[in-house]
Amino acid sequence: METVPTADVSTRDQLSLAYTPGVAEVCEAIAADPALTRHYTWVPNTVAIVTDGTAVLGLGDIGPAAAMPVMEGKAVLFKQFGGVDGIPICLATTDVEEIIETVVRLAPSFGGINLEDISAPRCFEIEDRLKEALDIPVFHDDQHGTAVVTLAALVNALKLTGRSAESTRVVISGAGAAGVAIAKILLAAGVKDIAVTDRKGVVSSDRTDLTSSKKALAELTADRCGRRGTLAEAFEGADVYIGVSGGTVPEEVVATMADDAIIFAMANPNPEVHPDVAHRHARVVATGRSDFPNQINNVLAFPGIFRGAFDVHASAITEGMKVAAADALAALVGDDLAEDLVIPSPFDPRVGPAVAAAVADAARRDGVARI
């Protein structure tokens, strides 16, 4: 990564224009009308990539210094795939209040906030409170980026297997950031029968060990369809399995799924169900890995989502904008839809523009666009 200027500053006149005294004209104009920041600074095209280093990739709590290479990589992806300038910010605190206060104080320097690799359940409160405090997009990619791409792939997998969202039974293993967001976006897309599991089985309100976030999740999912019990019991007859938990699901459990099953085993580097096993029992298989077909990769979502939000100066990223992004991704597959192609490649040049356009349109529909 490096920062480069967009204007040449190699002569006295150019220096005088870019800095003192010329810069004072811009400062005074913005002081009189802060909205001019959008026209005369890089702020509206710049996202803060914020982490505390507590949930970095599959490495866990490795701290802010060790998290920096991942945040730098994220910034490169923002620029490459969305034309968005990303600035890594690794915070030397894991305190919820300190993180929120720090981001709020930094917010005038950015057009949006991308929260990254912050452990659950703290990430839920941090995102919710920052959304309330700020009038710029706040987006936790580990939650919503994963959810958007998962929904896009599932839309096409359901089409391929002749299912409707309303009649499909889904099992999600993992009740952390990604599992919660996937459950919510599937509900928004019309899926009604969802069981989310953790290490102790289905997250349902008959359990006495639930955190507040898991209690809320149970009320949205298993409680509505009467699901409870173990992971193996949830699997029996299920149409779709989505793994965001790690660990391994035994093959004898996978074998109890419905015919023409759909398996998205997304743990990295070791999927919960290895594709060789999954293909013996499912029609459509996806992973989080690049060396197998149907990679569920967040880079398909977050650059285009922020590009679209920035293009209309959106004040937030809504559920409607996320679903629109998923629908746009799914539509790109088009007539090429097949068992080994339910999601486009990250290198498909249509991805970023298509997602951005869909998100911008949804922002206008949802009333959060300001231009």
pLDDT tens digit sequence for 13-30: 999 998 989 999 999 999
Does pLDDT of 61 surpass 90? yes
For the whole model, what pTM was predicted?
Answer: 0.92
The mean pLDDT value for 143-153 works out to 95
Q: What is the CA radius of gyration of the chain?
A: 22
Residue 52 is labelled as binding a ligand: no
Domains and CATH numbers, the chain: 1-41 (no CATH), 42-136 (3.40.50.10380), 144-287 (3.40.50.720)
CA distances from 210 to 48, 206, 219, 228 (A): 33, 9, 11, 13
CA distances from 202 to 174, 185, 323 (A): 10, 19, 26
Beta bridge partners of 343: none
Does pLDDT of 115 surpass 90? yes
CA dihedral over 193, 198, 203, 206, signed as positive or negative: positive
Q: Is 359:304 a contact under the CB 8 Å cutoff?
A: yes
Q: Count CB atoms within 10 A of the CB of residue 69.
A: 11
Does pLDDT of 59 surpass 90? no
Q: Is 51:90 a contact under the CB 8 Å cutoff?
A: yes
pLDDT tens digit sequence for 215-233: 999 999 999 999 999 999 9
Q: Which pLDDT band holds residue 152 (cuts at 50, 70, 90)?
A: very high
Does pLDDT of 321 surpass 90? yes
Of 162, 159, 187, 157, the closest CA to residue 172 belongs to 187
Spacing of C-alpha 279 from chain mean position? 27
Residue found under tokens 């035994």 = 250
Question: What pLDDT was estimated at residue 62?
Answer: 95
B/e letters for 79-103, b = 16+ CB within 10 Å, e = fewer, are: eebbbbbbbbbbbeebeeeebbebb
pLDDT tens digit sequence for 254-291: 999 999 999 999 988 889 999 999 999 999 999 998 88
The mean pLDDT value for 124-145 works out to 94
The type of residue at 173 is: S
Does pLDDT of 58 surpass 80? no
Quote the mean pLDDT of the chain: 94
Question: What pLDDT was estimated at residue 176?
Answer: 87
Q: Which pLDDT band holds residue 177 (cuts at 50, 70, 90)?
A: confident
Question: What pLDDT was estimated at residue 60?
Answer: 87
Residue 116 is labelled as binding a ligand: yes
Question: What pLDDT was estimated at residue 268?
Answer: 82
Does pLDDT of 145 surpass 90? yes
**Phi, psi (5° rounding) for residue 150?**
-60, -45
pLDDT tens digit sequence for 81-90: 999 999 999 9
Burial class (CB in 10 A: 0-12, 13-18, 19+), 315: middle
Residue 198 is labelled as binding a ligand: no
How large is the greatest C-alpha to C-alpha distance in the chain, in angstroms? Answer: 75
List active site positions: 19, 74
User: Can you tell me the distance from the alpha carbon of 86 to that of 36, in angstroms, rounded to the nearest whole number?
Assistant: 21
Q: Which pLDDT band holds residue 195 (cuts at 50, 70, 90)?
A: very high
Question: What pLDDT was estimated at residue 327?
Answer: 96
User: Can you tell me the distance from the alpha carbon of 176 to that of 349, in angstroms, rounded to the nearest whole number?
Assistant: 32
